[in-house]
Amino acid sequence: MAQAQEMAKALNPALESFSPKGFEALWPTMPKEVMEMMFGNAVNKDGLDAKTRLLLTLAGLTMQGAQADSAVRQTVRHALEAGAKKQEIVETIGQMSVFAGIPAMTRALELAQEVLGDKGDDET
CATH of the domain at 93: 1.20.1290.10
Instruction: Indicate whether 90 belongs to any domain.
Output: yes
pLDDT greater than 50 at residue 85: yes
> Is 6 part of any domain?
no
Number of domains in the chain: 1
Mean pLDDT of 110-121: 81
Q: Give the predicted TM-score (pTM) of the model.
A: 0.68
Is residue 9 domain-resident? no
Report whether 51 contacts 87 (CB < 8 A): no
Q: Indicate the pLDDT class of residue 6, thresholds 50, 70 and 90.
A: confident
In a domain, 80, yes or no: yes
- Which of 100, 108, 120, 99 is closest to 70 using CA atoms? 108
Cβ proximity of 32 and 77 under 8 Å: no
The verdict on residue 7 lying in a domain is: no
Residue 4: is its pLDDT beyond 80?
no
- 41-50 pLDDT tens trace: 666 677 788 8
Flag whether pLDDT at 115 surpasses 70: yes
Cβ atoms within 10 Å of 43's Cβ, excluding its own: 8
Q: In Å, what is the CA distance from 118 to each residue of 5, 18, 24, 64, 107?
A: 30, 23, 15, 25, 18
